[in-house]
Structure 1
Amino acid sequence: MTNGLDHTALKAKQRAVREGFPETMGLRAHRAISWVGRAEACGEDYDARFIFLWIAFNAAYADEQEFQAVAPGERAAFMEYFDRLVALDQDQRIYKALWQRFSGPVRMLMENRYVFNPFWKYHNGIDGFEDWEERFKTSARTFATSFQAGDTARVLSFVFDRLYVLRNQLVHGGSTWNSGVNRSQVRDGAEILGFLMPVFIDIMMDNPNEHWGKPFYPVVE
């Protein structure tokens, strides 16, 4: 992992600084780091890596409010989390990763209709999505504008919109393990998440007193 932030490095940092963590932040970091470690053990099993990294993402960002609404506003929760991360990312590590290392995979993800939610709604016969192609083009244009403008939080929201469709395909049995179909987005998704999640966790550990939310599943004796 070229950012130098693997499970071992994150765990060592957590042990060094966790005494100053609020209890909820300590639990959040501990859980997220554990799933990053599990993802690393998957090697080139990109399906498994992606799923374990998504669990790490959930451990890092989701709070009790996510589970209280009838239809959780996950996109809004993503944006709130991304806004906070980007504001605290003084070295612009997230932006540099997206712009320099992952600009190709990110653009490929944005140009892939198979991870665009309206495409699937149309193909599943849901009314109101006959214009999915126009929506797809509009999304691509808006993403490009945000990317050029350096609006990192907005870029993250676009990327995670696509990754969320991929997450649903895998978790809900909508794809075959190690399938030759749509392999590129699973591989790229795992690589993008594998780089970003340790950075997200590292930023959180550098700012433990920010309001990262209360985990819905605390440790109960």
Structure 2
Amino acid sequence: MAFDLDHSGLKTKQRKIREEFPEDLGLRVHRSLSWLGRAEAVEGDDDAQFIFLWIAFNAAYAKEDAFDEYASSERATFTDFFAKLVSLDDERLIYDAIWMKFSGPIRSLMSNKYIFNAFWHHHNGKPGFDDWELRFVKSSRAFAHAIQAQDSAQVLGKLFERLYVLRNQLVHGGATWNSSANREQVRDGAAILAFLMPIFIDIIMDHPEQNWGQPYYPVVEG
């Protein structure tokens, strides 16, 4: 039975197969779907939709060591998660999103210095980032190499590094709601997340045998 790739369709699917889920996976999917549903409810408000979709993303991928100061970098965590999703994406929906549906917006986001972390470190006077432009060029070359190799996991990893900076700008009060100053990247970021998150959740539900990790904040009784 086919299910629509939106909150309603995925929730229906989840209810039918959730008995097959390990407890940790059931919690992860339940939480991610709840935030996906909230994001759909605010369609038209790009800032709110982006934030809610990012929470859905966090619920889907964050593991028990996500906030451990000795854990691997966020970049490595992203890449591992995306590599697993891409390898399990039999319908190549992620591939189609990157190279067909959102090719232009992704390239635009990757060429935007205002969502490049080193730019802001330099702008705020943090030592060691006078070479931010060189870092930006190097990052752009690495992205171009990933595109040339058609490496979907690496492309997603590099894209989400930029979206993470955008997430920080919004969540930490570094942007004005509905501001024209960052409208294009917020709009494109929200659209990309809105398309990809249902795919991510669907793949996770289709593969309960995989180790998706233990959520950092499990339900604790008492």
Question: TM-score when scaled to structure 1?
Answer: 0.95
One-letter code of the match for 1:201? Answer: I
- 2:171 is matched with which residue? 171
| Aligned-partner Cα distance in 1 for 2:71–2:118 | 18
Shifted more, 70-79 versus 13-22: the winner is 70-79
- Residue 117 of structure 2 corresponds to 117
Query: Could you tell me which residue of structure 1 aligns to residue 14 of structure 2?
Result: 14
- 1:68 offset after TM fit, Å? 2.8
Give the equivalent residue in structure 2 for 1:74.
Answer: 74
Structure 2: distance between partners of 1:166 and 1:52: 13
Which runs of no fewer than 5 residues in structure 2 stay unpaired?
none
State the Cα deviation string for residues 144-174 of structure 1 (Å, max 9, x = none).
2211211011000110000000000000000
Superposition deviation, residue 106 in structure 1: 0.2
Shift of 1:72: 6.2
| 1:47-196 paired onto structure 2 within 5 Å | 47-69=47-69, 73-196=73-196
For residue 15 of structure 1, give the secondary structure of its aligned residue in structure 2. Answer: helix
Cα displacement (A) at 1:71: 6.6
Q: Report the RMSD for the aligned CA atoms in angstroms.
A: 1.4
Shift of 1:91: 1.9
Equivalent position amino acid for 1:80 in 2: D
Q: Which amino acid is 2:67 matched to?
A: F
Q: How many percent identity over aligned positions? A: 63
Unaligned runs of 5+ in 1: none
Are residue 40 (structure 1) and residue 57 (structure 2) matched? no
Count of aligned positions: 219
How far, CA to CA, are the matches of 2:158 and 2:109 in structure 1?
Answer: 10
